[in-house]
């Protein structure tokens, strides 16, 4: 049974465009494989505690762990286990102020763990997660694809590649704030790319 991990990160709830595209994709995917198991993490609805010095100390293996550190390490382990047990991963990547939502940044902060998901060798950094297909569903109000301002997608691609998830696919909906026609065009183009991921 195929297992799909879905990471949603919009703060716009039912108005989210990345959420809309992901839900459409999951519906099509369930039709194709009704036995698939889907695990959804909605970071906008249920944000993770923000990384700070205390939590980082917990990740670093401080000998005397506070309750908060223990909880953060357990959560981080859980998030990493979700990735490890998935066959495919879908991540919503909305652009907010040229970057990613802070909620998605927190997820990245919890899954990047030295000695667990990456390590440094004499040859440089090495991702420790087993490679698997990842679809990044990116949504932007303006036009950014393949330009110097395509920072949200580049950030997520870089971090996931760093921890070993290099088999990355993109469904890119841009121009969503530029009027009805541009919005429709942006969504349709992303739908085509999401469909390609489904059959790949």
Ligand X SMILES: Cc1cc2nc3c(=O)[nH]c(=O)nc-3n(C[C@H](O)[C@H](O)[C@H](O)COP(=O)(O)O)c2cc1C
Q: Which of residues 88-107 bind ligand X (CB under 6 A)?
A: 92, 94-98
SS3 of 43, please? coil
Question: Binding string to ligand X for residues 134 to 173, with x set by CB under 6 A, is what?
Answer: -----xxxx-x-----------------------------
**Which tokens sit at 103?**
């909620």
State the residue for tokens 């505690």.
49
Residues 6+ apart with CB under 8 A from 28: 195, 198
- Give min distance, CB of 155 to ligand X, in A: 13
- The strands making up 3-8's β-sheet, listed across from edge to edge, are 37-42, 3-8, 88-94, 134-139, 168-173
**Which tokens sit at 168?**
């990355």
| Residue 97 vs 146, nearer CB to ligand X | 97
Rg of the chain on CA atoms, in Å: 17
- Give min distance, CB of 91 to ligand X, in A: 12
The full length of the chain comes to 200
Q: How far apart are the first and last CA of the chain?
A: 17
Question: Is 61 one of the binding residues for ligand X (CB under 6 A)?
Answer: no
Out of 4, 5, 6, 10, name the contact with ligand X by CB under 6 A. 10
Q: Which stretch binds ligand X (CB under 6 A): 8-16, 33-41, 103-111, 126-134?
A: 8-16
| Residue 176 vs 194, nearer CB to ligand X | 176
Q: Which stretch binds ligand X (CB under 6 A): 10-18, 32-40, 57-65, 75-83?
A: 10-18
Q: How many CB atoms lie within 10 A of CB 177?
A: 13
- Give min distance, CB of 200 to ligand X, in A: 23
Question: Is 179 one of the binding residues for ligand X (CB under 6 A)?
Answer: no
Determine the Cα–Cα distance for residues 157 and 149; give it in Å rounded to an integer: 14
Number of residues that bind ligand X (CB under 6 A): 19
Chain contacts with ligand X (rule: CB under 6 A): 10, 12, 16-19, 92, 94-98, 139-142, 144, 176-177
């Amino acid at each position: 049974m195929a297992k799909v991990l879905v990471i949603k990160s919009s703060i716009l709830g039912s108005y989210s465009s990345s959420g809309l595209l992901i839900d459409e994709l999951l519906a099509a995917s369930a039709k194709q494989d009704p036995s698939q198991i889907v695990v959804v993490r909605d970071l906008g609805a249920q944000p993770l505690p923000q990384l700070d010095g205390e939590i980082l100390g917990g990740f670093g293996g401080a000998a005397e762990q506070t309750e908060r550190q223990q909880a953060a390490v357990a959560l981080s382990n859980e998030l990493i286990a979700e990735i490890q047990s998935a066959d495919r991963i879908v991540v919503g990547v909305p652009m907010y102020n040229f970057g990613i939502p802070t909620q998605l940044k927190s997820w990245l902060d919890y899954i990047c763990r030295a000695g667990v998901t990456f390590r440094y060798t004499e040859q440089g950094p090495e991702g420790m997660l087993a490679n698997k297909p990842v679809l990044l569903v990116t949504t932007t109000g303006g036009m950014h694809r393949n330009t110097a301002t395509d920072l949200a997608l580049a950030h997520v691609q870089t971090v996931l590649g760093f921890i070993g998830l290099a088999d990355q696919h993109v469904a890119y909906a841009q121009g969503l704030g530029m009027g009805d026609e541009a919005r429709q065009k942006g969504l349709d183009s992303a739908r085509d790319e999401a469909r390609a991921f489904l059959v790949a």
